[in-house]
């Protein structure tokens, strides 16, 4: 499967789940454009599309917490990606290892 098989949404974006390859931790979920998928495959580091800033974003380029991509996978209907990465530092902008640190409680 390659980039031409992917189904981007009407904004030209696809959801990407980022997982630490060895521990299995789900670190974050972000959006990729076609160009960010291409850059991720080409550079071996994660590139996303920031909807708020409307720009490409090489994760960790400023903080130093880059994510090295071990494998990029697509799901069965090719509209979601899973990036298996090695992320030595925190993935969350809060400084947490993962963005998923809040348990949801019943009301």
CA 55-8-65 angle, to 5 degrees, is 45
Q: List the x/- string, 76-105, binding to its own copies by CB under 8 A.
A: xxx-xxx---------xxx-x--xxxxxxx
What CA–CA distances, in Å, run from 36 to 16, 25, 101?
Answer: 11, 22, 26
Q: Give the total of residues touching its own copies (CB under 8 A).
A: 42
DSSP 87: -
User: Min. distance of Cβ 58 from its own copies in angstroms?
Assistant: 17
Site residues (CB under 8 A) for its own copies? 1-4, 6, 15, 17, 19, 23-26, 28-29, 37-38, 41-42, 71-78, 80-82, 92-94, 96, 99-107
């Amino acid at each position: 499967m390659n980039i031409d098989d992917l189904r981007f949404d009407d904004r030209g974006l696809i959801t990407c789940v980022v997982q630490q390859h060895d521990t299995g931790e789900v670190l974050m979920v972000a959006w990729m454009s076609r160009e960010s998928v291409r850059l991720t495959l080409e550079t071996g580091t994660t590139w996303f599309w920031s909807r708020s800033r409307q720009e490409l974003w090489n994760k960790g380029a400023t903080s130093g917490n880059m994510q090295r991509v071990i494998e990029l996978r697509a799901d069965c209907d090719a509209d979601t990606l899973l990036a298996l990465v090695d992320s030595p530092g925190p993935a969350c902008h809060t400084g947490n290892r993962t963005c998923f640190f809040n348990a949801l409680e019943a009301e």
